[in-house]
Amino acid sequence: MQTTVKPAFILLLCLTALTGIAYPLAVTLIAQIAFPTQANGSLLGSNEQPLGSELIGQTFSRPEYFWGRPSATSPAAYNGGASSGSNQGPTNPALIDAVQARIKALRDADPTHSEAVPVDLVTASASGLDPHISPAAAAYQVSRVAKARQMSPDSVTELVERYTQGRQWGILGEPRVNVLELNLALDQLLK
CB 181 within 8 A of CB 163: yes
Please report, rounded to a whole number, the percentage of residues in the chain having pLDDT higher than 70.
Answer: 90
pLDDT for position 165: 87
Residue 99 DSSP SS3: helix
Q: What is the pTM of this model?
A: 0.75
User: pLDDT tens-digit profile of 74-122?
Assistant: 766 776 766 766 677 778 788 788 888 888 888 888 888 888 888 888 8
Q: How many domains does the chain have?
A: 2
Same-domain pairing of 15 and 85: no
Domain interval for residue 7: 2-36
Same-domain pairing of 16 and 47: no
Same-domain pairing of 21 and 69: no
User: pLDDT tens-digit profile of 46-64?
Assistant: 667 777 777 777 888 888 8
Q: What is the mean pLDDT of the chain?
A: 83
Mean pLDDT of 22-42: 86
Confidence check: pLDDT of 188 > 70: yes
Same-domain pairing of 9 and 23: yes
Same-domain pairing of 69 and 139: yes
**Please, which residues bridge with residue 35 across strands?**
none
CA distance 18 to 22: 5
Same-domain pairing of 73 and 94: yes
